[in-house]
Structure 1
Amino acid sequence: MSLFPNLWHHRKVADTSAKGCEVCYKPSTSVLITPENKDFFYVCPSHLKDKGFCSPIVDHEAAAAKRKKEMDEELEKIKKEYEEKQKKKKEKEAEKKDDKDKEKEKEKEKEKDEEKKEDTKSNDKDTTKPEQKTEEEEPRIFALQRTFYQQRLDRKRQAEMAKKNRERLSNPNFFPSVPKGMP
């Protein structure tokens, strides 16, 4: 039975709390920690991208749900815009029927001009809209490669053994007592 699973969450700490990377000893603010907080170590972000050190664990279900939500929001937005355009067209058609033929021709020209203006405005709105993040977020969960994981387990076991030895040495009953009788 292993002490903890090979599942590590990536966390960031404050710049003032930066410590040396476990691999290259450069100061780093990135920390890999187990879910139960049993073990942690500092690591450079560049090592997280190295396939020889660790591999990211991607939650495909969560990513798919996020994409679906974005698509649904965009679909609703497009539907609303379409409905608004249809309402405007119906209102203009009703006005045209009431007016004379000359006024109908003038309004058609105005309508075409307005539609062109609206199309250019909607295109302008899309271009002025701040770009959403096209980059996917960095993975947050990693699995260490076998050798690095085994090193972490060995280090944790050695620390536990050292703690037990210190406790034994601090206990006076651990050492044999001085003989009381004559030899």
Structure 2
Amino acid sequence: MSLKNIYHLRRVADTSSKACLICYKPSTSVLITPDNKDFFYVCPAHLQDRHFCSPIINAEAEAARRKEEEMAKEIEQVKKEYEEKQKRKKERAAKDDKEKKDDKDKSKEDSKDKKDAESKDDEKDRDDKIDSIRKAGESKADASPRVFALHKNFYQMRIDRLRNIEMAKRNQDRMKNPALFPSVPNRGL
């Protein structure tokens, strides 16, 4: 039996939590092999322990995470630029309002209401876009590693456990086979 030393981190519901392999506290984190031959519950704190396991870092995932961080920075920069433009627009509007105040009070209020409505629509659209990007980022933003390799002692424990289970099954099958036991000796008559 070959068991690769690659374990993926999965989460289960709180109602399905079971005892951690190491400290026996209830845990919702499960390490499982890709072929589903072996799994065990472990606390998230133990995943940080360098003597228990080490993360296997995927270069593509790391590049994607960096790209997301850059995108978040760019979003913040665009947001700041937009706010600056809005401030300048308001300053210009205030300046224009002072100049045109004497000319047309009623027509100015109408145009101001239109400008305010347009700026509110622009702000709403911008906020919606930012929120959708943040939500997409939050779903992917779990920065903790998801693939681990156990250290040699813990890995050997898992192999030994699976080997013992397999041997116990073989022994049970042998015990059920009547040909395994010797037959009763016959007396020669």
Alignment TM-score, normalising by the size of structure 1: 0.64
Q: Secondary structure of the equivalent of 2:170?
A: helix
Give a deviation string over 1:24-72, Cα, whole Å, max 9, x none. 1111111100000000011111000100100111112222145346657
Corresponding residue for 1:39?
Answer: 38
User: Which residue number corresponds to residue 186 of structure 2?
Assistant: 180
Give the TM-score, by structure 2 length.
0.62
SS of residue matched to 1:37? coil
Name the SS for the 1:152 alignment partner: helix
The letter for the 1-side match of 2:21 is E
**C-alpha RMSD of the superposition:** 3.5
Q: Which amino acid aligns with 1:60?
A: A
Distance 1:32 1:152 in 2: 12
**Amino acid paired to 2:185:** P
> Could you say which structure has the higher helix fraction?
2
> Counterparts of 1:162 and 1:30 in 2: how far apart (Å)?
28
Cα distance per residue 1:139-181 (max 9 Å; x no partner): 1100001100001001110110011000100111111111223
Query: Does residue 31 of structure 2 align to residue 25 of structure 1?
Result: no
Gap runs ≥5 in structure 2? 86-98, 100-114
In structure 1, the gaps of 5 or more residues are: 86-105, 107-113
**After the TM superposition, which residues 91-102 of structure 1 pair with which residues of structure 2 at under 5 Å, given as runs?**
none
The 3 A distance-change label for structure 1 pair 67 and 151 is same
Matched residues, percent identical? Answer: 54
Q: Would you say how many aligned residue pairs link Structure 1 and Structure 2?
A: 142
4+ aligned runs moved over 6 Å, structure 1: none
